[in-house]
Amino acid sequence: MKLVILYGQEATGKLTVGKHISTQAGFNLFHNHLSVQVAMCLYPYGDPRYDDLVVRVRLLAFESAAKNKLPGLIFTWAYTHPECFHHFQLIQETLATYDVEICLVHLHCSQKALESRVTSEERRELGKISDVEGLHRQQHRKNCVEIPGHNSLVLDTTNISPEDAAKNVVNHYDLLTTGA
């Protein structure tokens, strides 16, 4: 199985690019907010039980996909360092006994593009940050860098269509030989 992890700060196009990869490669899409929505049903944001449940849901999903030999899975993540590095290590540990290749893709774009994209209706509907002030607060508190010590395909989504960004990922990681 190939686990494609699309990561970067808010509004870089992770979900949109992920949908196009899903269509092009035939992989299922497990976006970040699916696990967040489960945790929000039980605990308030910031509660340690909330964070624990988010991580457990993700690990369970990844392990289930690997155990059942899905060809691939796409995961979107607003990875921030160093806070999320332990979570990344848990993903690696959980999948170590399975035949899984983790394909890292770091998306970024210009500040102007971020501020334009963050206000989209789709973001609001999904409960994502959907205003420029919220984006600025996240940027101030987060360190959205490449995952250290691991090779990532780095894509600037400022001037590339989501379809073309997805094609780059599919070609770089040879996803068509694994997928549909």
Predicted confidence (pLDDT) per residue in 72-94, tens digit:
999 999 999 999 999 999 999 99
Instruction: Report residue 65's pLDDT band, with 50, 70 and 90 as the boundaries.
Output: very high
Residues 106-119, mean pLDDT to the nearest whole number: 93
What secondary structure letter does DSSP report for 105?
A: E
Whole-number pLDDT of residue 100: 98
Q: List pLDDT tens digits, range 145-169.
A: 999 999 999 999 999 999 999 999 9
Residues 107-130, mean pLDDT to the nearest whole number: 87
pLDDT at 124 over 90: no
Candidates 27, 4, 38, 29; CA nearest to 107 is 4
pLDDT at 38 over 90: yes
- What is the C-alpha to C-alpha distance for residues 24 and 32, in angstroms, rounded to an integer? 20
C-alpha distance from residue 16 to each of 11, 37, 64, 76, 96 (Å): 10, 19, 24, 10, 29
Q: Are 130 and 118 in contact (CB under 8 A)?
A: yes
Among the residue ranges 38-47, 115-124, 158-167, the one predicted with the least confidence is 115-124
Whole-number pLDDT of residue 161: 97
Whole-number pLDDT of residue 180: 47
